[in-house]
């Protein structure tokens, strides 16, 4: 279920991102205004959530592919928690790297 939800959230983000990029067609001034707006520290936090979402979707996708090939069928639960731990660890490290951008 989380894999599907994360996929839907990523697809929604893709359309939002394309909409922001499409604002460049409205002119340089409009695009500059939007660029300044998305450089706010709140968006840095949201970018970190996006990183976590992409990590979860990718790592869990590898887990699902391994299960479909028959690898780890008896360890599904532990593989799930390993994917959660890997996502949390990498996302926490990325957040640590981005702290200076959040607290400018």
pLDDT at 54: 95
- The model's pLDDT over 72-95, given as tens digits with 9 standing for 90+, comes to 888 989 999 999 999 999 999 998
Specify the pTM.
0.79
User: What does the domain layout of the chain look like in residue ranges?
Assistant: 2-102
Name the token pair of 28.
């340089």
Name the token pair of 51.
């990183």
- The model's pLDDT over 21-55, given as tens digits with 9 standing for 90+, comes to 888 888 888 888 888 888 888 888 888 899 999 99
> Is the Cα torsion angle 52, 55, 60, 63 positive or negative in sign?
negative
**Cα angle 51-55-85, degrees, rounded to a multiple of 5:** 115
Pick the CATH number of 2-102 from 1.10.10.10, 1.20.1300.10, 3.40.640.10, 3.40.50.300: 1.20.1300.10
Classify 71 in phi/psi space as left (phi over 0), alpha (psi -120 to 50) or beta: beta
Backbone angles phi, psi at 59, to 5 degrees: -65, -45
* Helix (H) or strand (E) run with residue 34 in it: helix 28-38
Please answer whether residues 104 and 77 qualify as being in contact, where contact means their C-beta atoms are separated by less than 8 angstroms.
no
Find the mean pLDDT for residues 4-10: 94
pLDDT at 28: 85
């Amino acid at each position: 279920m989380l894999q599907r939800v994360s996929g839907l959230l990523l697809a929604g983000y893709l359309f939002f991102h394309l909409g922001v990029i499409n604002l460049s067609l409205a002119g340089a001034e409009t695009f500059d205004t939007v660029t300044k707006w998305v450089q706010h520290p709140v968006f840095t936090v949201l970018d970190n959530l996006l990183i976590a979402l992409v990590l979860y979707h990718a790592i869990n996708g590898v887990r699902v592919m391994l299960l479909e090939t028959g690898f780890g069928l008896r360890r599904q639960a532990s593989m799930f928690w390993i994917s959660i731990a890997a996502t949390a660890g990498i996302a926490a490290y990325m957040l640590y790297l981005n702290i200076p951008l959040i607290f400018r």
